[in-house]
Structure 1
Amino acid sequence: MPSNPRWVHRPEGSTWGDFGADDQLGRLNLLTPAKVRQGIAEVREGRTFCLSLPLDRPGGKALNPRRGPPVLSPTGPAEKPRWNQCLCHDEAGLLDVACDDKVEIALQYSTQWDALVHVGAMFDADGDGVPEPVYYNGFRAGTDVPDASQAAASGRAFGALKLGIENAAAHGVQGRGVLVDLFARFGETRRFVGYDDLMAALDADRVAVEPGDILCLYTGFADLVMRMDGAPDPAVLSHACAVLDGRDARLLRWISDSQIAAIAADNYAVEGLPARAFAGGANAAMPLHHHCLFKLGLPLGELWWFEALAAHLRVAGRNRFLLTAPPLRLPGAAGSPVTPIATV
């Protein structure tokens, strides 16, 4: 087992230390130049598909009461907003009219990437018998991830000092995407998809998933959201479409063994929430997030929009494509909006 100054032992089945003592990328390390070339090799037509919802969708706060839609407003003082503002000066001969704006946005409201700092766990990393709040690779709450009061006391801006989304942005998120069409198999029926279901879907469509691929799951959830036209019905959405079963140990083992670089889904949270009841003792409320973000350093993408891409790939008899999906290079953020592009 790798040694590390931040931890004496690591969670069972984790990749802590495998990519280096101070690694902040996790499985994105598998997006190598060779994987980018594999993605580029899938481009035959030069056709692109935008995989992002409009960032004001789903609409309202039906999916998460803490996250509201973006609020767009002009810059400048209220009495002179920079919107349709004439910059005319007769003496200088200037005729410009300008618009300039700003946005207040919940970073994980719409189509998004989760940063590795998004979900950690209580874990006894230093071996003293007392669990402490830690994140991937043993980075600590309070020091590596200060809270707002700690940041203010030190004179720093708010945000994580380690594992923020800027690491993924600086590395680049580009490689070969592989689409699994769960919607074709299960429709809009709510189903907790475990290992057996996923393997059956892969076999039925002859989908091969290789190390370093980005696994993309089309469930139809985002299509349903878009049909609701900004007024999502939580009673419908909470019982709609396929979700991964984070309690399925064989599914989690496959995610580990497959060596995929990331998972992106068109649903909320990728996994089913609330998760299936667990018969044992203490366990994560978000078991897939726990396994992927905390243990493996494997980013999760949520609320992507695969409808048009999935239809095209099915007609073409394909499931692979070049995926380009960089997050914002926003230091310290726990997530980011993203406008993924698939090129086929």
Structure 2
Amino acid sequence: MMQQRWKKRPDGSNWGDFGPDDQLGRLNLITRDKVLQGLAEAKEGIPFCLSLPLDYPGGSGLNPRRKPPVLRPTLRPNAVNFNVALNTEEEGATDVVCDDLVLLHLQYSTQWDALSHVGSLFDADGDGVPEKVFYNGFRGGIDIVGPDSIADAGAPAGADWRKGTSNAGALGIQNYAVHCVQGRAAMVDLHAHLGNERTYVGYDILMRILEEDGVEVETGDMVCLHTGFAEVVLGMNRNPDEKTLHSACAVLDGRDTKLLNWISDSGLSALIADNYAVEGLPSKPGGAGCCASMPLHEHCLFKNGIPLGELWHLTPLAGWLRERGRYRFLLTAPPLRLPGAVGSPATPVATV
């Protein structure tokens, strides 16, 4: 066991509650019993793919730093390794081979945020000087490191991929993968009540919808918010209108303290949406220089170790559940087991 990394923890956080070395956060609440509860919801044996095609939304209108994936063949000696007939290399061989690679921005499409994705400047040492710190006191530049030079970052043509490595030595996405992220999930159908209008959903709106739909969130449940945004993105066929990307469908109001308290008190283990960022960006004003620009990310990832899932494709599942008066299902959603990554694509599967 390592020595505790902090002398004080942020207000409203759960640092240390799962142990001083914990890197799973609220995924610890997905116990064996929660997995069994999820399995009990798989009554019809019908699976739903909850991932968008990973080349959606198209372009870089949602985030200028994230680009669509690029697929390229690998190389054989002096040849492209695609549709290669091996009889050119081995007499009598009948094999035809294709092999490829991908340049993939890990948080471009359907994704998980790792707990190393967003931290905060916070005085964890209690010495009056804020440090770059992440969930449970892990430190930027010590536990979570990356290159200092812009020449060693990004994806320029001809880049030397042996250089510029970043590595979340702690809180990397591989922790989710080893856990498996499988258990019971609850669908909250915001779209059925709010349509495609841009609505900042705070505690009062959310509680009204939960009550009207009879949705109960219990400790360890993963919560999925259906806003309809992914369906809007699909309808734009990889050529999205940037204004629509930033003005369509419901988002959570990260400035609503009552909503953040509910997220803590509900015991949910992960928070997932079919929109970009789960919360509204830009967030509502919080006062000049007052606080995090992404308050829900701060509350979930930094303070409480709650994984965030973004840009999932929830509409077909939400419709199926609503037609049958159901809202719970088995969710299986591991990310890539990619050590050190701060986010990952996912191909989540719901089974009803």
1:64-121 Cα shifts (integer Å, max 9, x gaps): 0000000000011594111101111697531000100000010000000000000000
SS at 1:251's partner residue? helix
Q: Which amino acid aligns with 1:164?
A: G
- Listed as ranges, the matches of 1:265-344 within 5 Å are 265-279=273-287, 282-344=290-352
Distance 1:280 1:335 in 2: 30
Q: Is the 8 A contact 1:114 1:299 kept in 2?
A: yes
Question: Contact (CA 8 Å) 2:146, 2:164: kept in 1 or not?
Answer: no
How far apart, in 1, do the equivalents of 2:190 and 2:164 lie? 45
Measured in 1, the distance between the counterparts of 2:10 and 2:284 equals 22
Question: Does the CA contact (< 8 Å) of 2:62 and 2:242 recur in 1?
Answer: yes
Residue-by-residue CA offset, 1:273-301 (whole Å, 9 max, x unaligned): 00001147520000000000000000000
Task: Quickly say closer, same or farther: Cα 1:60–1:90, change in 2 above 3 A.
Answer: closer
Letter in 1 for 2:84: Q
TM-superposed deviation, 1:218 = 0.3
Q: Would the aligned equivalents of 1:67 and 1:106 in 2 still touch at CA under 8 Å? A: yes
TM-aligned CA distance change 1:156 to 1:24, over 3 Å: farther
What residue identity is the alignment partner of 1:115?
Answer: A
Q: Distance in 2 between matches of 1:241 and 1:51?
A: 18
Q: Which one-letter code corresponds to 1:338 in the other structure? A: A
Match of 2:241 in 1: 233
Tell me, yes or no, if the aligned pair for 1:4 and 1:17 is still in contact at 8 Å. no
**1:221 matched residue in structure 2:** 229
Q: What letter corresponds to residue 40 of structure 1 in structure 2?
A: L
* 1:287-337 per-position Cα deviation (integer Å, ceiling 9, x unaligned): 000000000000000000011101110111100000000000000101000
C-alpha distance in structure 2 between counterparts of 1:235 and 1:289, whole Å = 23
Mapped to 2, the partners of 1:60 and 1:89 lie a distance apart of 40
Q: Say whether the 8 Å CA contact 1:7–1:138 is kept in structure 2.
A: yes
For the residue of structure 2 that corresponds to 1:102, the secondary structure is strand
Instruction: Establish whether residue 148 from structure 1 lines up as the match of residue 156 from structure 2.
Output: no
Contact 1:9 1:125 in 2 (8 A): yes
Q: How does 1:80-119 map to 2 (within 5 A)?
A: 80-88=79-87, 92-119=91-118
1:248 to 250, 256, 268: 256
CA distance in 2, matches of 1:312, 1:127: 51
Distance 2:254 2:247 in 1: 17
Residue 74 (structure 1) aligns with: 73
Task: Tell me the residue number matched to 1:31.
Answer: 30
Amino acid at match of 2:57: P
Task: Provide the C-alpha distance between the structure 1 equivalents of 2:238 and 2:62, rounded to a whole number of angstroms.
Answer: 12
User: After TM superposition, which residue ranges in structure 1, 4 or more long, deviate above 4 angstroms?
Assistant: 89-92
- 2:13 is the counterpart of 1:5: no
Aligned to 2:156: none
One-letter code of the match for 1:34?
D
Unaligned residue ranges in structure 2 (runs of 5+): 153-162
Amino acid at match of 1:335: G
Give CA-to-partner distance per residue, 1:115-149, whole Å, 9 cap, x none: 00000000000010000110000000111012224
1:50 to partner: Cα distance: 0.3
Residues 207-249 of structure 1, C-alpha deviation per residue, up to 9 Å, x if partnerless?
Answer: 1110000000000000000000001111112111000000000
Give me the whole-angstrom Cα distance separating, in 1, the residues matched to 2:80 and 2:296. Answer: 45
Q: TM-score, normalised by structure 1?
A: 0.95
- Of the candidates 169, 172, 183, which is equivalent to residue 180 of structure 2? 172
Q: How many corresponding residue pairs?
A: 339
The answer to whether the 8 A contact 2:86-2:96 is kept is yes
Long gaps (5+) in structure 1: none
Q: Judging changes above 3 Å, is the alpha-carbon distance between structure 1 residues 78 and 196 closer, same or farther for their aligned structure 2 residues?
A: farther
TM-score norm. by structure 2 comes to: 0.93
The percent identity for this pair of structures is: 61
Q: Distance in 1 between matches of 2:41 and 2:295?
A: 33
- Corresponding residue for residue 49 of structure 1: 48
